[in-house]
Amino acid sequence: MERFEKAERLRRLPPYLFKEIDRKKAEVRARGVDIIDLGVGDPDLPTPGHIVEAMKKAVEDPSNHRYPSYSGMEGFREAVADWYQERFNVTAEPLKEVLSLIGSKEGIAHFPLAFVNPGDTVLVPSPAYPVYNIGTLFAGGRSFFMPLLAENGFLPDLEAIPHDVASSARAIFINYPNNPTAATAEPEFFERVVAFAKKHGIIVCHDAAYSEMTFDGFHPSSFLEIKGAMEVGVEFHSLSKTYNMTGWRIGFAVGNASAIEGLGAVKSNIDSGVFQAVQMAGIEALRGDQGCVAEMCAIYQRRRDVMTEGLISAGFKLEKPKATFYLWVKVPAGYTSAGITARLLEEAGLVVTPGNGFGEPGEGYFRMALTQKEDRLKEAIKRLKALSL
Ligand SMILES: *Cc1c(COP(=O)(O)O)cnc(C)c1O
């Protein structure tokens, strides 16, 4: 074997979604094209000032310069529990049912290491945030992909999962409001997931990264509001999207004490927790004035309206989403996801993400992230109209 031949787990990885896009983007930019990047879901808005101030103060305090507690400061976990009570009317025991994470991506990626043995099956939506599949692969597990289709409102069809697959699966990942489809789920769907998980002895992992990025007065439920959910699952949250804190690396998991304990055991052997100053900033985010969240939603809602209407008037088809900063747009007739993505980049300088990059059932769509200012979105619409697809 070659010295630096990669391990199986790396060689088996699907190609990195943005690698090819990044290469093409650099090529087009080198030609002097003014690029409008609607590709990556990274907020363009700054972290609210009161959170930055809390961080500044905490950084100055030497007691925060030491190793943090592995599972998170009590104060942070209490702030999470109080936020859950206030926002969802869900009671969680801070020290047993809450865990701090170095971003929710970290917790999602590590979760299968705690509960999935080599060869075990995990139910993973497709298209989806890639980490559910990759975390499963890294644990030696196998993903059984559940297609998210328009005709089912982009919810997985649990009835369509073969009985032997369901009964041998260790876990199911779900994510609503959804990335990349921007679909939302009603509590009735979560009830079906709880019943399914109980019937088959499966752990439910609900990724709720976009629960606060919502429009038109929509307030999605927590999965944990459902009767019996605490017995079967965990919910992952992120401060990244809610408070424009993607770079800070802080999130949390709430849910079943055994699930939290298992994930905590993996983490305590791999990382040493979240920098306390960042947790102090997180406490300020969760306990402080939530006006900043409402302001952020208002900004994205305006962008959503501008872009949805612009796309429709340019001849595209899409649903106006109730949540997330994504638009899931149907590819015009005669194109594939890759084909339209390439044409938008080369002829209009617009970076979007091909739907099939999130999984094969995403073919026929592309995703647009509303992470540019309104004037840039208007410029993007102008260019789309000029393309005459
Ligand atoms: C952005 C995102 C996350 C991760 O966020 P962190 O920054 O790691 O907390 C998790 N899930 C989905 C679906 C996301 O889009």
The residue segments making up the domain with residue 329 are 8-46+291-387
**Both 239 and 296 in a single domain?**
no
Q: Which of 253, 270, 287 is the last residue before a domain boundary?
A: 287
* Nearest atom within ligand 1 for CA of residue 101: 9
- Residue 333 CA to ligand 1 center (angstroms) comes to 32
CATH of the domain at 305: 3.90.1150.10
Q: Of the residues 253, 272, 287, which one is the last residue of a structural domain?
A: 287
Is residue 2 situated within a structural domain? no
The answer to whether 354 and 337 have CB atoms below 8 angstroms apart is yes
* % pLDDT > 70, the chain: 100
Q: Is the domain of 41 the same as that of 112?
A: no
The pLDDT tens digits for 131-150 are 999 999 999 999 999 999 99
What's the CATH number where 248 sits? 3.40.640.10
Residues 205 and 277 in one domain: yes
Q: Is 177 in the pocket of ligand 1 (CB under 6 A)?
A: no
Q: If you measure from the C-alpha of residue 192 to the centroid of ligand 1, how many angstroms do you get, rounded to a whole number?
A: 24
Is position 304 within any domain? yes
Both 267 and 325 in one domain: the answer is no
What are the tens digits of pLDDT across the range 47-99? 999 999 999 999 999 999 999 988 889 999 999 999 999 999 999 999 999 99
- Residue 133 inside a domain? The answer is yes
Q: Is residue 1 part of a domain?
A: no
Q: Which of ligand 1's atoms lies nearest the C-alpha of 104?
A: 9
Contacts with 7 (C-beta within 8 Å, 6 or more apart), sequence order: none
pLDDT, position 14 = 80
104 and 189 belong to one structural domain: yes
- Compute, in angstroms, the gap from residue 176 CA to the centroid of ligand 1: 12
User: Do both 347 and 253 map to the same domain?
Assistant: no
Count the helix, strand and coil residues of the chain and give each as a percent rounded to the nearest 5. 50, 15, 35
The pair of structure tokens assigned to 206 is: 């609900």
Collapse the DSSP code of 356 into the 3-class scheme (helix H, G, I; strand E, B; otherwise coil) and give the result: helix
Q: Examine residue 20 and state whether it is found in any structural domain, yes or no.
A: yes
Task: Name the domain boundary from 259, 287, 315.
Answer: 287
User: By the 8 A CB rule, do 164 and 139 touch?
Assistant: no
**Does residue 304's CB lie within 6 angstroms of at least one atom of ligand 1?**
no
Distances (CA, A) of 210 to 101, 140, 172: 16, 28, 18
- Do 70 and 32 fall within a single domain? no
Residues contacting residue 108 through CB under 8 Å, at least 6 positions apart: 129, 131, 132, 135, 173, 205, 207, 236
Going residue by residue through the chain (389 aa), what tens digit of pLDDT does each one get? Answer: 899 999 999 998 887 777 888 889 999 999 999 999 999 889 999 999 999 999 999 999 999 999 998 888 999 999 999 999 999 999 999 999 999 999 999 999 999 999 999 999 999 999 999 999 999 999 999 999 999 999 999 999 999 999 999 999 999 999 999 999 999 999 999 999 999 999 999 999 999 999 999 999 999 999 999 999 999 999 999 999 999 999 999 999 999 999 999 999 999 999 999 999 999 999 999 999 999 999 999 999 999 999 999 999 999 999 999 999 999 999 999 999 999 999 999 999 999 999 999 999 999 999 999 999 999 999 999 999 999 77
Asked, for residue 3, whether it belongs to a domain, the answer is: no
Query: Residue 325: which of 156, 181, 192 has the closest Cα?
Result: 181
Whether residue 92 is contained in a domain is answered as: yes
CA 133 to CA 322: how far, in whole Å?
26
pLDDT for the residue numbered 16:
76
| Nearest Cα residue to 205 out of 88, 99, 102 | 99
Residue 203 inside a domain? The answer is yes
Mark whether 86 and 165 lie in a shared domain. Answer: yes
pLDDT at 20: 81
Ligand 1 near 181 CB (within 6 A): no
**What's the gap in Å between 97 CA and the centre of ligand 1?**
20
Q: How many CA atoms lie within 13 A of 368 on its CB side?
A: 31
Number of structural domains (the chain) is 2
* Residues 176 and 322 placed together within one structural domain of the fold: no
Atom of ligand 1 nearest to the CA of 239: 9
Q: Which residues, at least 6 apart from 23, have a Cβ–Cβ distance to it below 8 Å?
A: none
* Residue 41 CA to ligand 1 centre (angstroms): 9
Same domain, 222 and 245: yes
Strands 203-207, 251-255: pairing is unpaired
Three-state secondary structure call for residue 99: strand
Instruction: For residues 373 and 337, state if they share a domain.
Output: yes
Counting ligand 1 atoms within 8 A of each CB, the residue from 241, 271, 286 with the most, and so the one to mutate, is 241
Distance 206 CA to ligand 1 centre (A): 12
21 and 55: one domain? no
- Is 130 a pocket residue for ligand 1 (Cβ < 6 Å)? no
Note the pLDDT of residue 388. Answer: 77
